[in-house]
Chains A and B, each alone.
Chain A
Amino acid sequence: MGVLQKSKPARYSAVGLVRRGLRGDTWPRVWREVPLKKSYDVVIIGGGVHGLATAYYLATNHGITDVAVLDKAYLGSGGSGRNTAIVRSNYLTPEGVAFYDRSLQLYKTMAADLNMNVMFSERGHMTLAHTDGALRTMHWRAEVNKLQNINSSVIDPAEVKKLAPSLDTSSHPRYPILGALYHPPGGTIRHDAVVWGYARGADARGVEMHQKTEVLDITVEGGSGPDGKGPGGTVTGVRTSKGDISAPIVVNCTAGWATLISDMAGVRLPISTRPLQAAVTEPVKVFLPTVVVSGSLHVYVSQTDRGELVFGASVDPFNNYSVRGSLDFTEELASHVLELMPGISRMRLLRQWAGLCDMTPDYSPVMGFTPVQGFLCDVGWGTYGFKAGPVSGEQMAYCIATNETPELISAFNLSRFAAGELVGEKGAAAVGH
């Protein structure tokens, strides 16, 4: 397999399916399996949507193809394969809105761009208000969104009922539905398809994917910390479970593991890692056409095309690297979901799981350059980073290629924590995803 040549991907289409079906042919590999080289122009740590999108746009937009994406497990094994795949752009701050809206635009054309059906389902996204305080926050978000030309408005309980008949909109004693923030362009996407699509697209342009390749250390020279790491230093490469690599640029796209990686370079991040749990029910015939979020009840739910209800909640209230689900999560989830939709008590929970979330104090990411030359970060994605994958990849690729921070992500730089210029997304991101 020694020859490193770019593979020509077979185009996916219905016609291709039929042709191969008749001939009994199989499809070529989505991405190649090649041996690890000794050096690359760019090493990306983390084979989730952020790392892969960065690699894809480096190759596509900037012609930088001597790139390796390293993952300690398989592609999409982190948050990117565990999330509930809600995408939307109705954030609270102008910075947030502009950024996520660009991502939504990229998602819209992604299937064609990647020649892979990522099943973007623009089914609408509804955030319920159960108190007048929550309603006020919904108005706040709607007003900010409107000024940014985002389709977002506050709707009344009757409209809520029309959009999602399974919701109890009666004057329910405990959590009445007083209205909702409705965002028609929001929806869901098939997360794995996005991961595979980016990997396949990047591979076709020469980027290498290396699974089961764990980064054990980052080599830095000239820094102010121990071993020449830390501020003022310059990255020289990484050590991995499959050998050492030299590289002038190393990008940290490891989400829940972000601080472990940045520590290897001597860069401290204001990030803590917390589990976020999710669960899915057995399939039933489709009855819930939109995404429904309730902040007061700490729950959100959508129904896949296969008929399963997918549930999520807010992050666990403690730092932890464990991805085991807990019982109390499912109990609280069920009781809260039944508050919203009392008619589904006979549905059965099929599976529960957890993923790691890299939480920042202001519910906004850390993107771009760090005090170590050549070491870049695209982390701090918390509970909301899947939807940001495309735009982050695009902007990070720009950063790497031009050595400049693009406007769209300048608010998310690491130095904001020292300068006290936090981005105020807490209100819109806490359970919203």
Chain B
Amino acid sequence: MTRRLPAQAGEVINRSTPLSFKWDGGNLSAFEGDTIASALLANDKRIVSRSMKYHRPRGYLTADFWDPNGFVQVGDDPNVRSGHRLVENGMTIDPQNVWPSLDYDMKAANGLVGRFLTAGFYYKTFIKPQAMWPVYEKVLARFAPGGTVDLDTPHGYHDKRYAHPDVVVAGGGPAGMAAAISAASLGARVMLVEHEHALGGHLRWGNAEDRRLLDELRGKVEGAGVEILTNSTVTGRYEDNWTAIVQRSHPIAVERLIKARAKVLVVAPGLIERPYVFTGNDKPGVMLSGAVRRLINMYAVKPGERAVVFTGNADGDAAIVDLERVGVTVARVVDARQGENIVVAKGGAKALDSVELSDGSVIEADLLVTAVGWTAPTSLLNMAGDRPVYHAGSARFYPSAEIHNVLATGGIAGDGDADQLLAHAEATGRLAANRAAAVAHRVQDLTARALPVQGPEPTWPEDDRQSLPRDSHPALFRSTTHGIVDYSEDVDSKDLVAAAKEGYDSVELLKRYTTATMGPSQGKLETVNTVAVLAEARGETIQEVGTTVWRPPYAPITLGALGGRVFEPVRVSSIQSWHEANGATPILAGAWVRPDHYGDPAAEVTNTRTNVGIIDVTPLGKLDLQGPDVPKLLNHLYTNKWSQLPVGSVRYGIMCAEDGVVLDDGVTGRLSDNRYLMTTTSSGAATIWEWAENWLQTEHPDWQVHVTPVTSGFTSINVAGPKSRALVSRLVDNVDLGPDAFDYMQVRSGTVAGVPNCFMWRIGFTGELSFELHVPSGHGLHVWTALLEMGNDLGVKPFGLEAQRIMRLEKGHFIVGQDTDGLTKAPSLGMNGLIKLDKDDFAGKPELAWAMEQSLPSLVAIQTTDPAEVPTEASQIVRAGTNEILGRITSSRMSPTLDRSICLGQVLPEAAPAGTELTIVMIDGRRITARVMEHQAHFDPEGQRLRG
């Protein structure tokens, strides 16, 4: 560690814990507390990356999170900010984008042709021959910047948390700390979020007085009951102060996303130092004053031997003091306030050796420090709608408007001495607490700690803060020479000027054309310089050219943090363990995993049609409807009539959207005077619940209906087949199951296999005599096994979804979403008897009234001429000899009952009459013939069996 200075006060490294790590294949050492950047510089590694387009060697510029040159690969983690990430023992760190190596780099040859590769050059070339672009494209893609994703990266444990603080303070510098302390002292619950690894902001790299202030503030804030989150970033502010905080310092989770509904957000991110545009400004050895001070004072790293300092402000002056203290020769101070300027940073590709000044002198140096001013990181304010305004006197942007629940303080709000800044921050904290209390009162948040929620609403606390002064500062953006504006995108000020002359002369067009500010550093350092260069090119002021607006996130955020634990639960019924143990082949149906079959679906069909079968139909959507106005709701949702449904009966209905398109179908039964149970399709369960609530909440809030989704509250089992009555009656003793007492389309409640409060319906999708049992979920498995045990001699067997699908197709029952599509209107289903236009208004009525008059496609049963041909579902039906589409097969199966292929299909009216000969295009391209059937049911069209 050749550049490490002797131990000094204020350093954040722990010399008693040395670490070792790998950089670019070699072993290096560091101390605990070192960032990768400080460790590399301590080891005299000055080149850390190569620039994107020209592959020029790059060193650290800011040596913090925002350093555009500091991206490295750490193990499987690409694009790590080496100015921020702490070294860990054994870490493997590699440079990115430097094939074949950092030192020897063929792509640097690009630099030679640099003058032809003006921004946007690719729009102007590779045009002809057209066929060559894919080849060029592949080559260009190899130059893509960035690290490498290891596709086997484990997701790791990520977590999320919801918080409801009174005040969130973004930024833990002196202003943020002072605001947090004063807000907390008024009783507000405060979260103080600091991006860096410790509180303190710029005080951390300041002088002894700064450190004293830091200790004082830290002591106070730690005793103030404030929740302090370090190494955490407020990445976004969304509607109503929905605030996203990424916590990287969680003890267990890789990262945790905290979603806080802040009553008031205080924005105190400090300022970001701005680079200066001049020729050679991207040479290793050119650094901003903040970088130099951080390296010296926090990490005890000597950043160079002989320095030129270009300063326009007190920070630059302080850097001089720091440099001299640690033995760096300050060869020349170039004072911008005196009109002095730097023009060119000279040297070989890899290092600076001298600096040319505007007076023509050339000063030898291996370090050039610039202090030309700051950018206010107004991102969070932009996200709240603020558009920053440029202030020429102090040469920076400031927040413009007052947003009622977002307050800015600290450097972003203005200048001043420490007392003035702290006073402003304290006033901001007070205002935040008082406004939080007012908000809490307004929303009756009883958890808020800030001031009482009861009593009369407090008057809205007015902003009584004394605004901060704005120190004058020379406007330093670009020297008389051209240089890099956007480091991560390798965009030069010459590029910007040329692009502006070409007509890309608004900030937005310029950004898009040159990609300036679009790279991974998000324009934090570059945006204002881009605007300044554009203003110069247009001969306008910065304010005339426009403002700088940042989109979320404030800092890039990992997909892992956003995704959290990736909860995508699968739903299973209470019988699932039995299915698994008994060889069921699972199928995913919507959110549910359920048995597709237990080995032989055809045998399951045959057994159900001859003996009795049971199927787990738990995923069937179930809504418990209660209240005197349920019939009104049913009349509104279904197309048929529901006012006269007697207690104990069930009825089938179809639901349509307002455009008459079929939305769902199912049965609803009346359990008692004011209680109904609605079933929906499995896939429609959530949609129909929302649909019902939507009508109730928006159009008919006066209707007295409670809708409770109970899909998983009941395990549902359908018992089907000629022997189903015999089987069910063995388990039920308090209900008369006789055909006269319990008719088709009726519902009873009773005890099944000892389980009370079960519902039984006499309905089924299979076309057989069926009893559908809905039993409280906890008892589902018990009832299922009881059915199997009690029905052994009757030949009871379970059947799966596939057998059910075959049987329903044999019966010609359609499935919404399979046999219907996004345009299928109810009259296409051949059930016009269920569309009651003489009812009062109902969903879809006007459209259906019209649709009934039209000739629409029809759903028809189809059988192929060759009984062995089963056309794949979605096979197209065409006019013979042409490619003109007349319809399609929507369902098809081999029927074990009929021993032939059977289909349902949608066809245009001309092809719908029974007996029409159809041509079906098989997916292998063959064309076969088929015929439209008279009945939609292929089997038992009269329905003798299910009424039995």
Interface residues of A (CB under 8 A from B): 12-14, 16-18, 21-22, 24, 26-31, 33, 73-77, 81, 94, 108-109, 111-112, 115-117, 119-122, 130-133, 136-137, 139-140, 142-144, 146-148, 165-166, 173-176, 190, 192-193, 196, 211, 281-287, 305-307, 324-327, 330-331, 333-335, 337-339, 341-353, 361-362, 420, 422, 424, 426-427
- CB neighbours of A30 from chain B (8 A): 502-504
Q: Are B559 and A348 in contact (CB under 8 A)?
A: yes
Contact status B851-A335, CB under 8 Å? no
Q: Given contacts A74-B506, A166-B151, are A339 and B498 in contact (CB under 8 A)?
A: no
Please tell me if B567 contacts chain A, counting CB pairs below 8 Å.
Answer: yes
Query: In the assembly, what is the distance between CA of A196 and CA of B498, in Å?
Result: 16
Q: Which residue of B lies closest to A363 (CB)?
A: B822
Q: Is the CB of B823 within 8 A of A348?
A: no
B520 touches A283 (CB 8 A): yes
- How many Å from the CB of B576 to the closest CB on chain A? 13
Contact of B116 with A305 in the complex, beta carbons under 8 Å: no
Contact A139–B149 (Cβ < 8 Å): no
Contact present for B155 and A338 (CB under 8 Å): yes
**Which of B119-127, B298-306, B784-792 contacts its partner?**
B119-127
Cα-based distance from A116 to B503 in the complex (angstroms): 15
Across the A-B interface, give the 8 residue pairs with the lowest CB-CB distance, nearest first: A307-B144, A345-B560, A334-B562, A348-B556, A12-B124, A283-B146, A139-B874, A426-B822
Verify if B873 is at the interface (C-beta below 8 Å from A): yes
Q: Are B239 and A147 in contact (CB under 8 A)?
A: no
- Are A144 and B876 interface neighbours, CB within 8 A? yes
Q: Determine whether the beta carbon of A343 is less than 8 Å from that of B127.
A: no
Tell me the B909-941 residues at the A interface (CB within 8 Å): 921, 923, 925
Closest to B136 in A: A117
Knowing A345-B158, A348-B558, the reply to whether A111 touches B563 (Cβ < 8 A) is no
* Contact sample, A vs B, 21 pairs, CB 8 Å cutoff: A14-B124, A17-B121, A94-B885, A111-B133, A117-B124, A148-B883, A284-B78, A284-B144, A284-B147, A284-B148, A284-B149, A285-B148, A306-B144, A327-B244, A334-B561, A337-B563, A339-B566, A339-B568, A342-B155, A343-B153, A361-B659
Cα separation A137 to B569 with both chains bound (whole Å)? 24
CA distance A349 to B559 in the complex (A): 6
Give A132 to B891 CA distance when docked, in angstroms: 12
A331 and B564 within 8 A (CB): yes
CA distance A190 to B512 in the complex (A): 11
- Chain A residue numbers with a CB within 8 Å of B556 are 281-282, 348-350
Cβ-defined contact, B564 with A347, below 8 A: no
- Beta-carbon contact of A285 and B144 below 8 Å: yes
Residues of the B chain whose Cβ atoms lie less than 8 Å from the Cβ of A348: 79, 520, 556-559
CB pair A117–B122 under 8 Å, yes or no, is yes
Bound-state CA distance A123–B562 (Å) is 28
Which of the residues B79, B239, B508, B883 comes within 8 Å of A74, measured between beta carbons? B508
User: How near does chain A come to B510, taking the closest CB pair, in angstroms?
Assistant: 10
Determine if A307 and B888 form an interchain contact, defined as CB atoms under 8 angstroms apart. Answer: no
**B872–A139 CB distance below 8 A:** yes
Which residues of B lie under 8 Å from residue A286 when comparing CB positions? 141-142, 144
CA distance A334 to B557 in the complex (A): 10
Most chain A CB neighbours (cut-off 10 Å) among B116, B154, B156: B116
B128 at the interface (CB under 8 A from A): yes
Report A-chain residues with C-beta under 8 Å of the C-beta of B850.
420
In whole angstroms, what is the CA distance A4 to B792 when docked?
94
Size band of the B side of the interface? 35 or more
Please report the C-alpha to C-alpha distance between residue A290 and residue B587 in the assembled complex, in whole angstroms: 28
> Which residues in B have some Cβ–Cβ distance to A below 8 Å?
76-79, 115-116, 118, 121-128, 130, 133-134, 137, 140-142, 144-156, 158, 236, 238-239, 242, 244, 257, 259, 383, 498, 501-504, 506, 508-509, 512-513, 519-520, 522, 551-553, 556-564, 566-570, 587-590, 593, 659, 683, 817-818, 821-823, 850-851, 854, 872-876, 878, 883, 885, 888, 921, 923, 925
Which of the residues A112, A192, A325, A362 comes within 8 Å of B551, measured between beta carbons?
A325
Q: Give complex CA distance A339, B559 in Å.
A: 11
> A287 touching B149 by the CB < 8 A rule?
yes
Interface pair B520/A131, CB less than 8 Å apart:
no
Q: How far is the CA of A424 from the CA of B142 in the complex (A)?
A: 41
Interface centre among A143, A196, A346, A353 (most CB of B within 10 A): A346
In the bound assembly, the distance between CA atoms of A342 and B522 in angstroms comes to: 26
- Assuming the contacts A327-B236, A347-B78, asked whether A116 and B552 have C-beta atoms less than 8 A apart, the reply is no
In the complex, the chain B residue whose C-beta lies closest to that of A12 is: B124
- Residues of chain A within 8 A of B508, CB atoms compared: 73-74, 77, 81
Identify which of A137, A173, A337 contacts B559 (C-beta below 8 A): A337
* Alpha-carbon gap, A347 to B148, bound state (A): 10
In the bound complex, CA of A352 to CA of B556 (Å) = 10
| Residue with the greatest number of chain A CB neighbours at <10 A, chosen from B147, B259, B659 | B147
A426 to B498, CA, bound (A): 45
Name the residue of chain B whose CB is nearest to the CB of A427.
B822
Chain B residues lying within 8 Å of A174, measured Cβ to Cβ, are 568-570, 588
A284 to B874, CA, bound (A): 40
Q: Which of A29, A74, A196, A347 has the most CB of B within 10 A?
A: A347
- Are A335 and B566 interface neighbours, CB within 8 A? yes
> How distant is the Cα of A182 from the Cα of B696 in the complex, in angstroms?
43
Residue among A119, A307, A426 making CB contact with B823, cutoff 8 Å: A426
The answer, among A29, A281, A339, A420, for a CB contact under 8 Å with B501, is A29
A28–B502 touching, CB < 8 Å: yes
CA distance A339 to B551 in the complex (A): 26
Cross-interface CB contact of A131 among B236, B259, B588, cutoff 8 Å: B588
In the bound complex, CA of A341 to CA of B155 (Å): 10
The closest CB in chain A to the CB of B243 belongs to A327
11 additional A-B pairs beyond A81-B512, A117-B133, A426-B822, beta carbons within 8 Å, are: A17-B116, A29-B502, A30-B503, A143-B921, A144-B876, A282-B520, A285-B144, A343-B150, A343-B153, A351-B522, A351-B552
Distance to closest chain A CB from B279 (angstroms)? 15
Cα distance A345–B253 in the bound complex, in angstroms: 13
Whether B551 lies near A335 (C-beta < 8 A) is no
Residue on B with the closest CB to A305?
A: B141
- Contact at B78–A346, with CB atoms within 8 Å? yes
Known interface pairs A133-B817, A327-B259. Does A119 touch B558 (Cβ–Cβ under 8 Å)? no
B562 touches A335 (CB 8 A): yes
Does A282 contact B79, Cβ atoms closer than 8 Å?
A: yes
One of A137, A283, A339 near B145 (C-beta < 8 A): A283
Q: With a CB–CB cut-off of 8 A, which chain A residues contact B567?
A: 335
- Contact of A345 with B116 in the complex, beta carbons under 8 Å: no
CB distance from A26 to the nearest CB of B (A): 5
Q: Return chain A residues, CB-CB under 8 Å to B506.
A: 74, 211
Chain A residues near B155: list those with CB within 8 A: 338, 342, 345
Q: Are B558 and A147 in contact (CB under 8 A)?
A: no
Contact of A324 with B383 at beta-carbon distance under 8 Å, contacts A147-B885, A345-B563 already known? yes
Q: By the criterion CB–CB under 8 Å, are B125 and A117 in contact?
A: yes
Picked from B153, B509, B593, the residue with its CB within 8 Å of the CB of A75 is B509
Interchain nearest-CB distance for B882 vs A (Å): 9
With both beta carbons as reference points, the residue of chain B lying nearest to A325 in the complex is identified as B552
The answer to whether B127 and A347 touch across the interface, beta carbons within 8 angstroms, is no
Q: Are B79 and A192 in contact, CB atoms less than 8 angstroms apart? A: no
Contact A176 B588 (CB under 8 A): yes
In the assembled complex, which residues on chain A have CB atoms less than 8 Å from the CB atom of B78? Answer: 282, 284, 346-347
Chain B residues near A17 (CB-CB < 8 A): 116, 118, 121, 124-125
- Please tell me if the beta carbons of A352 and B551 are within 8 angstroms of each other in the complex: yes
Known contacts A165-B151, A346-B76; is A147 also within 8 Å of B878 by CB?
yes
Distance in Å from the Cβ of B275 to the closest Cβ of chain A? 20
Closest to A422 in B: B823
Known A-B contacts A131-B588, A307-B145, A334-B559; the reply to A21 vs B115 at CB < 8 A is yes
Contact of A326 among B116, B137, B239, B588 (CB under 8 A): B239
Given known contacts A143-B888, A420-B851, A111 and B590 CB-to-CB distance under 8 angstroms: no
Contact of B588 with A346 in the complex, beta carbons under 8 Å: no
Contacts of B558 on A, CB cut-off 8 Å?
A: 345-349
Q: Please, how many angstroms separate the alpha-carbon atoms of A417 and B180 in the complex?
A: 58
Task: Let me know if A347 and B872 touch, CB within 8 A.
Answer: no
Q: Say yes or no: A117 contacts B126, CB within 8 Å.
A: yes
